[in-house]
Structure 1
């Protein structure tokens, strides 16, 4: 008898499951998560006054005695369904800080608000989309061309690659990425100082009069350098519930952002490989004023959608990999461009230097040295991911939403596994695709068009 291939045998096993329907229901509940986490345990909801058991749930009756939950990975390259949910949460998190809602008063619309992009400096000329660097007869000291003269499309693999890899400052690039979170903090601190100087108040006094609330997302450029997109809002001393003082107006904030960004200058980590010097932001700084009602400027929803889009992306946008690297031999085997390989190799090499151990560059070599979170925000900017997830669970379990806050939950849970078998992965991918198609149909119908 011919033996079936492994995936077909797995489909047979899956089809013979007595509780296949319930397993499919679990996978639909996770949205077709590509890498679900399986848990085993139980939860009992008890009224503390009467001792009455209001609800009891156990995975003992579930398929395999376990329950599938989302992996919650934000990267679309890892799990598209969870990435989409994370992007949706980010949209509401950012939007509520712009227009109110989710516990933020609508009066924040009247506060001074900016959308700012902070970029990295140049580490050497790279090919760029559109008209590239003009062709020149002169060559660099390594014999490479100092110009290109061509017009590149956005998808051209040459975009972001150095004109001369020998001239490119790879150590400076990696160390800038590693220091980017510290540069952002220095910018925020500078912003208070420059607001104080512009308003004529003391540096220590300004923090008692105004609060800078912000949310920022990190994006990788094609060249592999991180840059930040940030929403910056001025509040009163108690946060979004209080208006900023009259002197804290849009013009002052605009000027303070520009001067604060230009003033950032942190010492480069002490190393022979770093070449010394100081680190700061690049000369390219985009600042957009957000005005209530639009007024021809970029809209609040567009800003929230723009920031949310980048939380689903990571270093793969620069052509790198989204997993940690364990050895130098693994770097040589990666299917990446020579530029990305050079950046990863540089991070690995610098990570072996004793004076740079605190940067943990080898652990973050796959991220080209960047160690920060994808999205960060100040405490008072808006809601949190945890609060958004809790609200979604309460909405999904609306039957129990009216229980008294004094209800006691008793339970015990343990991790029992993760991921799919080959057949399960194909079924989950089909479920995720069906859900995506249904969303597109609903969106088209709501827009009055055809799917």
Structure 2
């Protein structure tokens, strides 16, 4: 840290660190960029990383995971918030009239795979015992099926099975792996239920109604995912059109209940692993979204955006892939997460289950879907928000070149770039300085060391 602080280029290093917002895992690049007039061959502007501290350009990692980089994850969270809220209140290309369209906040949970320790609260906030059961007896492994503890919010036993040997680890892993397919079938069933209620065919429904949604996956402490989604009813073509009069909030709620109860997905069969039918849990929560009601658009957008930056760390698992050289018994994870990871590796070795890619996603306990997704017509896109931010930054700090800039839209410039990837991350000293300069939380002191990339 002292060596970095005392270098002559520390001021430039610190300025770049602030410009990246305190990124904890910056990507290191070396190269150059040339702007050339294609008609005359004149070099309008030339940039080289030789001017940067250490001859390296550092760019933000742009990860969504708060556990890896709180700074970049906050940008992703804010973008997701704007995306979700635009679909409820308008803006970002969505008309404000969308606020009158029926919309609901839906939560689809996973089924039970065995009793687990949980924190239970009454509506008034009083914490009740975990599993108070008189004469509950013991399981076949001799463990009590009752728990009278009032668990705190930071109790490490939350999510742990009452008996790990009775818990259905196979079912938990397979549900995570097939949850994206279960969601896809749910969206199809939802449209069918709406069409049936309106006396239309599924094809005719598209000419009268559009079902739009934005969803995020959240891990429960027991290690399975459930989905939170905003589902909105629009007219044909999307939010610009008024939905038909029969498309009401009550109709949407009934269709969600029916679709969630109807869909199932069959897991592949393998030696020692029979095929099983997986479905959503019985707890399906549906709440109407209103501008001034108990559940507002701001609350929904903030709730979904919060979980868009999280992964499975609440279960006590890794935030990186499990390597072939890792010893599962030595991984820094909880006992429950260890058994889930081991089950992923066991099932992933079976040829019949290879398409589920359980070995690659063992650190995610089998789930390999996108954490936040949306339908095409829900609202704007994350790419559009990033492009708007880039254009804003370029307008605020235009490049200065040899007499030809600022460029107009009619100008044509040939841009030739040469970049080489050098690595990623910070040294422990740089991480401490970054936290001091930007006020960001101290990132994990485990810089990523990778081999040099080829010229691109």
Normalised to the residue count of structure 2, the TM-score between the two structures is 0.88
Q: Secondary structure at the match of 1:162?
A: coil
Aligned residues of 1:328 and 1:345 also touching (Cα < 8 A): no
Deviates more, 1:301-310 or 1:41-50: 41-50
Cα distance in structure 2, aligned partners of 1:299 and 1:123: 33
Aligned to 2:51: 61
For the pair 1:192 / 2:191, whether they are aligned, the reply is: yes
Aligned residues of 1:41 and 1:411 also touching (Cα < 8 A): no
What's the CA shift string for 1:374-400, capped at 9, x where partnerless? 111111111122211121122222244
For 1:350-361, list aligned pairs within 5 A: 350-361=347-358
For 1:174-189, list aligned pairs within 5 A: 174-189=173-188
Over 3 Å counting, the alpha-carbon distance change for 1:390 and 1:191 in structure 2 is same
Aligned to 1:424: 430
Aligned to 2:63: 73
Over 3 Å counting, the alpha-carbon distance change for 1:348 and 1:16 in structure 2 is same
Alpha-carbon deviation of 1:337?
Answer: 2.2
For 1:289-300, list aligned pairs within 5 A: 289-291=288-290, 293-294=291-292, 296-300=293-297
Over 3 Å counting, the alpha-carbon distance change for 1:148 and 1:391 in structure 2 is same
For the pair 1:404 / 2:408, whether they are aligned, the reply is: yes
Cα distance in structure 1, aligned partners of 2:14 and 2:350: 51
1:347 to 328, 344, 356: 344
Aligned residues of 2:31 and 2:49 also touching (Cα < 8 A): yes
Alpha-carbon deviation of 1:263?
Answer: 0.7
Aligned to 1:4: none
For 1:162-311, list aligned pairs within 5 A: 162-291=161-290, 293-294=291-292, 296-311=293-308
Cα distance in structure 1, aligned partners of 2:44 and 2:242: 45
For 1:128-167, list aligned pairs within 5 A: 128-130=118-120, 131-137=129-135, 138-167=137-166
Aligned to 1:7: none
Aligned residues of 2:213 and 2:229 also touching (Cα < 8 A): yes
Q: Which runs of 5+ in 1 are unaligned?
A: 1-9, 437-451
Aligned residues of 2:71 and 2:440 also touching (Cα < 8 A): no
Q: CA-atom RMSD, angstroms?
A: 2.2
Cα distance in structure 2, aligned partners of 1:197 and 1:434: 52
Aligned to 1:3: none
Cα distance in structure 2, aligned partners of 1:50 and 1:328: 56
Aligned residues of 2:37 and 2:44 also touching (Cα < 8 A): yes
2:11 to 15, 21, 40: 21
Aligned residues of 1:268 and 1:274 also touching (Cα < 8 A): no
2:81 to 66, 69, 91: 91
Q: Which runs of 5+ in 2 are unaligned?
A: 121-128, 400-405, 443-456
Over 3 Å counting, the alpha-carbon distance change for 1:396 and 1:155 in structure 2 is same
Q: Secondary structure at the match of 1:152?
A: coil
Alpha-carbon deviation of 1:142?
Answer: 2.0
Cα distance in structure 2, aligned partners of 1:354 and 1:221: 29
Aligned residues of 1:213 and 1:233 also touching (Cα < 8 A): yes
Cα distance in structure 2, aligned partners of 1:217 and 1:188: 14
Over 3 Å counting, the alpha-carbon distance change for 1:64 and 1:204 in structure 2 is same
Provide the aligned length of Structure 1 versus Structure 2. 424
Alpha-carbon deviation of 1:258?
Answer: 0.9
Over 3 Å counting, the alpha-carbon distance change for 1:93 and 1:249 in structure 2 is same
Alpha-carbon deviation of 1:17?
Answer: 2.7
Q: Secondary structure at the match of 1:335?
A: coil
Cα distance in structure 2, aligned partners of 1:53 and 1:328: 50
Cα distance in structure 1, aligned partners of 2:441 and 2:119: 35
Cα distance in structure 2, aligned partners of 1:341 and 1:328: 16
Aligned residues of 2:117 and 2:130 also touching (Cα < 8 A): yes
Cα distance in structure 2, aligned partners of 1:170 and 1:430: 43
Q: Secondary structure at the match of 1:94?
A: helix
